[in-house]
Structure 1
Amino acid sequence: MNADAIILGNRRFLCLSPTLVRLEYAADARFEDRQSVVAAAPRRPARFRAHEREGRWDVLDTGFMQIRAAEHLDPFHRLNLEIRWSDSRLMQCWRPGDRDHQNLGGALRSLDRYGGEAARLDGVHPAGMESPDPLATNWPAWIQCEVDPLYESLHPNPPADFNRGDWLGEARRERNDGRFLHRTFNWYKEARRFAPGLLSASGYFFLNDSESAVFDHEGFPVERRRPGAQDWYFFAYGRNYRQALADFRLLSGPGSLPPLKSLGIQFSRWPAFTEAEIADLVRSFAANGYPLSTIIMDMEWHKEGWGHWEFNPDLIPDPARFFASCREMGLDVVFNDHPLDVREDDEHFTAYVREARPDVEIREREYNGKRVRMAKVDICDKRQNRAFCAVCHAPILKLGLDYWWNDGSRGQMIATSGQLVANQTFFEESERNGRRGMLLA
């Protein structure tokens, strides 16, 4: 508990800076002190400049904005909370539920399905308490191609195994009665806009952090499991966008400096290359005055098929020699990674299942006409995450891999994507031996 916090009934108020405040509600007055995946930095609250009472309102003054709150045993809503601040000599006021139509937009989670004849971005979703994130819907493109004319033009020949797999049954039924078609086109309608971001011409940003994962004592993301609790941050910065960025850095922590070689020339191609071809590439780049710093191998580094973690003997017959050779040439090495499953015909399968039990799911999937048993990797499950990293990743990193190109992950966690958890995990793997962390995703 922080001594600078103001607790009123079932609410806690923190002034993190004159332009950033935290507002919490918990029915049992047990507030969240762990860092979240969004608010990841240690909190060093400032003090409110003043706390006064005006009728039924408690008024907390940060020096830039005033938080006016009443009914402290109840959750926040627009009748018991308002925030006021001055922007260019005009008084501004925000209440829960207000919509901001001047938000400047946030970052895209992925560039998949954008460009060409697919979705073209032409705006920003209004920012507010329930702003939709179009990129949270992860429809597989090869399902869309059967029902969406946009994807039919891009993928005229769906995969041969399109109609196989139990989980596709519901999608096919939805397609047949029109629900899937409606939802697919609705995805495009939503995806044509950016999700809201931190900066807004309205001069404020509301961040609802109530459900995002928090870090346990080992630094692993876990669900809060606090239904009904509210954990909000409010940024009020007017036209001072630098202040907004500084406040977000205060909340989330500083960005990591990338390793020096990641700023040099990185090279990848499909199909992948042998050791001899890598040596030729290094000589060719150097001869033209452009020294190569990083070699990136797509999924061909391993045996054919996702779920394999054994080296492709045709490209890398001697892994130790391969990494030693790359190191002699001054190269960092990056491998493509699909941490979704471990196949039964892979040498790591038995060890992974043993370490990941009791909750690991084993299922059959068809690949190139063969039925293959595969152990699922839920990267958000701590036991499976640790087992996967120890059994499948650690031996390759020990041989000399510098970092991963994380090409998609699977995980079940409320308000937090498996991709985010995997990115954190694999980034931390690359920080071994005092190195600066790095990841492609």
Structure 2
Amino acid sequence: MKEIYQVKTRSIALSENQVVGKKYRITILTDCLIRFEYNEQGEFEDRATQTVFYRDFPKVEYRVVEKEEGLEIHTANLHVIYNEKEFTSYGLKIQVKGNLSAYHSVWRYGEGVHDLGGTARTLDMVDGETSLERGIVSYFGYSVLDDSHSQILLDNGWIEPAKKDRKDFYFFGYGRDYKRALKDFYSLCGRTPMLPRYALGNWWSRYYKYTEQSYMALMERFDKENLPFSVAVIDMDWHLVDIDPKYGSGWTGYTWNKELFPEPKRFLQRLHERGMKVT
């Protein structure tokens, strides 16, 4: 894969921040953010995923208390109690310090998390309220990011599926310090890129069977009417849509319809020469 499309990651955490057993690894990333891994073969993942890019956080002050029934980990803001076995609700418990609540500040593995919500995948066909994906901040002071099934990023930029038998999640225990929770989320997963200026301009999009000639004629008409557009959406029919079902749905594809656009490179160049981006 070309370098321009590859994500630059820093996925290996400091060994000083890790508590490792035969089948588990706990990585203290901050005093409020901890990664938990479990695998029966004792194999842990140091590569980045499509969700988590950066684990190279600075050294964290914490202490480990070993007991007959397991171990406890204390940071400035979290108290972990773990029996060193496969993660269960009775074997792994995490408390957010600070007396947020006598009950709700304690999370047990597998319990649902009542966070304040994240983003909506799409607003297609939405008319009114819609469900949100999981978020990072919670009234109860904690949230969980499950990374067990995310695709693994390879050094060459490609991906591979995660191993099915691994458990890998991040516990965010920031109390009501929502700004810091989001800041460390960005440090872990990467900052949201700023939109380029052209994305905030006018986009022309219509589900219509254009040809190169008719599309360029329309762009000329826009110029004459002093209608500024920064993005040209070619929509559907630039590619073949009437295809054999064994190749998938005609709603997507990469094969240009040469009857409508006989010279795709020329067509795209003409749009670029007008200062337009194309999608």
Q: Which amino acid letter does the alignment assign opposite residue 284 of structure 1?
A: E
Q: Which residue does the alignment assign to 1:319?
A: 264
1:204 to 119, 122, 142: 142
Q: Is the 8 A contact 1:39 1:252 kept in 2?
A: yes
Which residue pairs with 1:282 in the alignment? Answer: 223
Q: Could you say if the C-alpha distance between residues 326 and 97 of structure 1 is closer, same or farther in structure 2, counting changes exceeding 3 Å?
A: closer
Separation (CA, whole Å) in 2 of partners of 1:211 and 1:8: 22
Q: CA deviation at 1:65?
A: 0.8
Structure 1 distance, partners of 2:192, 2:88, is 34
Q: Is the 8 A contact 1:25 1:76 kept in 2?
A: yes
Cα distance in 1, alignment partners of residues 101 and 160 from structure 2: 42
1:270–1:282: structure 2 CA closer, same or farther, 3 Å change rule?
farther
- Confirm or deny: 8 A CA contact 2:121 2:133 kept in the other structure: no
SS at match of 1:279: helix
In 2, the alpha carbon distance for the partners of 1:10 and 1:107 equals 34
Q: Is the 8 A contact 2:96 2:142 kept in 1?
A: no
Matching residue of 2:90 = 79
Which secondary structure does the structure 2 equivalent of 1:109 belong to? coil
Evaluate the alpha carbon distance shift between residue 58 and residue 216 of structure 1 in structure 2; reply closer, same or farther with a 3 A threshold.
same
Q: Which of 233, 255, 276 is 2:192 aligned to?
A: 255
Q: How has the CA–CA distance of structure 1 residues 258 and 89 changed in structure 2, closer, same or farther, with 3 Å as cutoff?
A: closer
Letter in 2 for 1:241: Y
Whether the aligned pair in 2 keeps the contact of 1:49 and 1:63 (CA below 8 Å) is yes
Give the secondary-structure state (helix, strand or coil) at the position aligned to 2:204: strand
SS at match of 2:184: helix
1:333 is the counterpart of 2:274 = no
1:33 and 2:46 aligned: yes
Matches within 5 A, 1:258-407: 258-271=195-208, 272=210, 273-286=214-227, 291-303=228-240, 305=242, 306=250, 307=253, 309-314=255-260, 316-334=261-279
Quote the Cα distance in structure 2 between the aligned partners of 1:257 and 1:16: 26
Question: 1:38-437 maps to which residues of 2 (within 5 A)?
Answer: 38-44=51-57, 46-54=59-67, 56-70=69-83, 72=84, 74-87=85-98, 90=101, 92-100=105-113, 102-115=114-127, 121=129, 193-227=131-165, 229-271=166-208, 272=210, 273-286=214-227, 291-303=228-240, 305=242, 306=250, 307=253, 309-314=255-260, 316-334=261-279
**Would you say the 8 A contact 1:285–1:292 is kept in 2?**
no
Identical amino acids, percent of aligned pairs: 27
Could you tell me how far apart the structure 1 residues matched to 2:158 and 2:266 are?
35
Q: What pairs with 1:2-41 in structure 2 (closer than 5 Å)? A: 2-4=14-16, 5-41=18-54
Q: Contact conserved, 1:214 with 1:221, CA < 8 A, in 2?
A: yes
How big is the shift at 1:317? 4.2
Deviation at 1:96, TM superposition (A): 1.1
Higher RCO by CA contacts (8 Å cutoff, separation 6 or greater): 2
User: What do the CA deviations read for 1:72-94 (whole angstroms, capped 9, x no partner)?
Assistant: 2x211122211112245545211
Give SS of 1:82's match: strand
Q: Secondary structure of 1:210's partner?
A: coil
Tell me the matched-pair count.
251
Taking the aligned partners of 1:67 and 1:89, their CA distance within structure 2 comes to 16
- Equivalent in the alignment of 1:421: none
Contact 1:207/1:233 (<8 A) preserved: yes
Instruction: Quote the Cα distance in structure 1 between the aligned partners of 2:126 and 2:89.
Output: 37
Q: Write the distance in 2 (CA, Å) between the matches of 1:13 and 1:45.
A: 15
Q: State the partner residue of 2:6.
A: none
Where does the alignment leave 5 or more consecutive residues of structure 1 unmatched?
122-191, 335-441
Equivalent-residue separation in structure 2 for 1:301 and 1:94 (angstroms): 51
| Structure in which a larger fraction of residues adopt helix | 1
Residues 29 and 266 of structure 1: CA distance in aligned 2, closer, same or farther (over 3 Å): same
The Cα offsets for residues 367-421 of structure 1, whole Å up to 9 and x where unpaired, read as xxxxxxxxxxxxxxxxxxxxxxxxxxxxxxxxxxxxxxxxxxxxxxxxxxxxxxx
Amino acid at match of 1:43: D
Mapped contact 2:77–2:98 kept (Cα < 8 A)? no
Q: How far apart are residue 114 of structure 1 and its match? A: 3.0
Q: Give the AA of the match of 1:212.
A: S
Query: Using the alignment, how far apart are the partners of 2:264 and 2:189 within structure 1?
Result: 39
What displacement does 1:33 show?
0.9
Please provide the CA RMSD for this pair: 2.5
- Name the CA shift for 1:237/1:42 in 2 (closer, same or farther; >3 Å): closer
- Residue deviations 1:269-305 (CA, integer Å, cap 9, x gap): 232442111121133244xxxx321111111223553
Q: Give unmatched runs, 5+ long, in structure 2.
A: 1-11, 243-249
